[in-house]
């Protein structure tokens, strides 16, 4: 972007690029001044006061932050639009649901129901139709066979990243499905389920205690102020703490 300003000592109009300092300044009436004056105008010895005080690195960081914020807003708008379109197609979604991305609701979203306060990570896939019938549907005996199933996620559930939900399952309420799981059977209330096929591995209360045992000491104010810097200095445990196994010896299954 080009800004036009007037130099206090030289008549004429001058222009410069605000992101990289003064690039060029050409007077309309005094182009034949001595070299020292031209250097001052060009900012080689001392930049004009209108140039600003930000350094190049600060300017780049500021532009990057604005760019990230714009992308974040565009992404949120795309998710809202996608959820609105699926609602128009018949899916039932309760209040206070959160989506990291637009789930793969498939071609029959009206067979899907989400309760209140459901949180869903990215790349979650809902399969409401069993397409395997294609193998034998050409035979007269099975010509009329169709297999569909409703998928119900009840209140206060979390569905992890890249979870696949097969026809006819119900999850929750108050349950968590771990990332990468394939849900072929219904998940009971109040459990953490994982695996292929997904099955309960511990209760939500045990999961909460596990998470508490694995939480390192950290400065809450610093974490709220600068999450990245706080996490980079944080000492993280790589596995389930031993004291959790002592308190809940039957919580997990091999």
Taking the C-alpha atoms of residue 24 and residue 3, their distance in angstroms, rounded to an integer, is 11
Q: CA angle, corner 167, sides to 165 and 171, nearest 5?
A: 55
The alpha carbon of residue 11 and the mean position of all alpha carbons in its chain are separated, in whole angstroms, by 53
Q: Which two tokens stand for residue 101?
A: 């991305």
Catalytic residue positions, numbered: 138
Beta strands 176-177 and 191-194 are parallel
Closest to 251 measured CA to CA, from 207, 216, 211 = 207
Task: Tell me how far CA of residue 7 lies from CA of 31, 86, 162, 210, in angstroms.
Answer: 13, 58, 60, 67
């Amino acid at each position: 972007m080009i800004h036009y300003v007037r130099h206090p000592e030289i008549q004429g109009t001058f222009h410069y690029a605000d992101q990289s300092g003064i690039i060029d300044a050409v007077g309309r009436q005094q182009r034949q001044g001595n070299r020292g004056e031209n250097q001052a105008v060009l900012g080689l010895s001392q930049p004009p006061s209108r140039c600003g005080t930000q350094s190049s690195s600060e300017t780049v960081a500021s532009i990057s932050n604005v760019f990230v914020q714009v992308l974040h807003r565009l992404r949120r708008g795309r998710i809202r639009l996608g959820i609105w379109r699926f609602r128009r197609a018949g899916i039932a979604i309760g209040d206070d649901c959160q989506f990291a991305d637009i789930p793969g609701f498939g071609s029959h979203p009206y067979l899907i129901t989400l309760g209140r306060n459901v949180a869903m990570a990215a790349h979650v896939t809902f399969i409401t139709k069993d397409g395997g019938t294609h193998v034998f549907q050409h035979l007269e005996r099975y010509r009329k066979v169709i297999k569909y199933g409703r998928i119900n996620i009840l209140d206060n559930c979390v569905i992890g990243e890249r979870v696949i939900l097969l026809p006819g399952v119900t999850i929750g309420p108050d349950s968590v499905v771990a990332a990468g799981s394939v849900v072929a059977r219904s998940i009971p209330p109040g459990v953490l389920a994982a695996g292929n096929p997904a099955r309960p591995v511990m209760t939500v209360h045990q999961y909460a205690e596990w998470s508490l045992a694995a939480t390192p000491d950290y400065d809450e104010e610093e974490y709220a102020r600068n999450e990245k810097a706080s996490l980079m200095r944080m000492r993280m445990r790589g596995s389930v703490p031993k004291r959790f196994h002592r308190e809940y010896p039957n919580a997990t299954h091999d």
